[in-house]
Amino acid sequence: MENNRRDFLKKGALLGLTSLGLTLVGKTRIDAIEDLIEKASDGGKYTLPALPYAYDALEPFIDKMTMEIHHTKHHQAYVDKMNAELNNPENIKLIGSPQTFEAIFKVASKVTPALRNNAGGHYNHSMFWQLMKPNPKADENKPTEKLAQLIARDFKSFDDFKKEFSEKALKIFGSGWCWLILQKDTLKIITTPNQDNPLMDNAPEQGKPILALDVWEHAYYLKYQNKRVDYINNWWNVVNWNTAANHLNG
């Protein structure tokens, strides 16, 4: 964050105008996860980013009620609890200032479990919303250009990649996430439990997140009940490959 912007936010906080300051300075929609990271905070608070589409926009693959509850209840709760935990002296000492995601994830194994879970929850969901889009031509939904080439190089073909990703997502025991990550120059598929992610110091393998899938039951249970496999198969129709491609360069 630029100094003048940070000062502005600080002054806003002093005047009790933090949320107004963030609204005026920030974007109403995040185009990239970096925009969200930038909201981190010398006295500011994290806020729930707006969805980049309507709650019913991903129908029939993901239903309106699931999206609305997932965004306004689950994601909002992660944001609120993250903000609360950032005031915990134990966390303040470990993270330093500013309290960016990068700074938090670097010491994820040491901060309070509540901060690790809720900061992960806020980051992962903010990324997840951007990685989906309404798609009238769902059956043509594929990565293009550089990302398509890297997937073909590291997984043989797009179909092989989809198969491996879907199988790993299906096998996660309980709640967690499936990720496509860039590790050095290689694409890999990994999974994490709970709200952990590949940027955390405790991740089974670290790398830059390219694609993410939430397989918590709250992401699909209303429509698909116990059939996680149907949710995963349908989710491919709404993947936003442009966002994923942008993560390669981001």
Backbone φ and ψ of 11, nearest 5°? -60, -40
Comparison of 107 and 222: residue with beta carbon closer to Mn ion: 222
Note the Cα 47 to chain centre separation in Å.
Answer: 14
User: Please, what is the minimum distance in Å from the beta carbon of residue 72 to Mn ion?
Assistant: 12
Comparison of 122 and 247: residue with beta carbon closer to Mn ion: 122
**Of the residues 179, 216, 220, 231, which one makes contact with Mn ion according to CB under 5 A:** 216
Q: Which stretch binds Mn ion (CB under 5 A): 30-38, 111-119, 142-150, 206-214?
A: 206-214
Binding mask 231-250 for Mn ion (x = CB under 5 A): --------------------
User: Please, what is the minimum distance in Å from the beta carbon of residue 173 to Mn ion?
Assistant: 17
User: Please, what is the minimum distance in Å from the beta carbon of residue 120 to Mn ion?
Assistant: 11
User: Please, what is the minimum distance in Å from the beta carbon of residue 219 to Mn ion?
Assistant: 5
Q: Which stretch binds Mn ion (CB under 5 A): 76-84, 169-177, 216-224, 236-244?
A: 216-224
Comparison of 66 and 99: residue with beta carbon closer to Mn ion: 66
User: Please, what is the minimum distance in Å from the beta carbon of residue 25 to Mn ion?
Assistant: 28
214 contributes a contact to Mn ion by CB under 5 A: yes
CB 9 within 8 A of CB 25: yes
User: Please, what is the minimum distance in Å from the beta carbon of residue 221 to Mn ion?
Assistant: 11
User: Please, what is the minimum distance in Å from the beta carbon of residue 16 to Mn ion?
Assistant: 32
Residue 77: exposure state from Cβ atoms within 10 A (0-12, 13-18, ≥19) = middle
The answer to whether the peptide bond before residue 60 is cis (omega within 30 degrees of 0) is yes
Comparison of 18 and 197: residue with beta carbon closer to Mn ion: 197
Structure token pair of residue 147: 């990302």
Tell the residue number behind the tokens 């996660």, with chain if given. 172
User: Please, which residues have CB within 8 angstroms of residue 155's CB and are 6 or more apart in sequence?
Assistant: 161, 164, 187
Mapped to the 3 state alphabet, what secondary structure does 149-171 carry? HHHHHHHCCHHHHHHHHHHHHHH
User: How many residues form the binding site for Mn ion (CB under 5 A)?
Assistant: 3
Comparison of 61 and 216: residue with beta carbon closer to Mn ion: 216
- Interior/surface letters 25-54, b for 16+ CB within 10 angstroms, e for the rest: ebeeebebbeebebbbbebbbbbbbebbbe
H or E stretch including 189? strand 186-193
> Which residue has the CB atom at the shortest distance from Mn ion?
214
Q: Strand, helix or coil at 64? A: helix
Comparison of 219 and 244: residue with beta carbon closer to Mn ion: 219
Comparison of 18 and 124: residue with beta carbon closer to Mn ion: 124
Contact footprint for Mn ion (CB under 5 A): 214, 216, 219
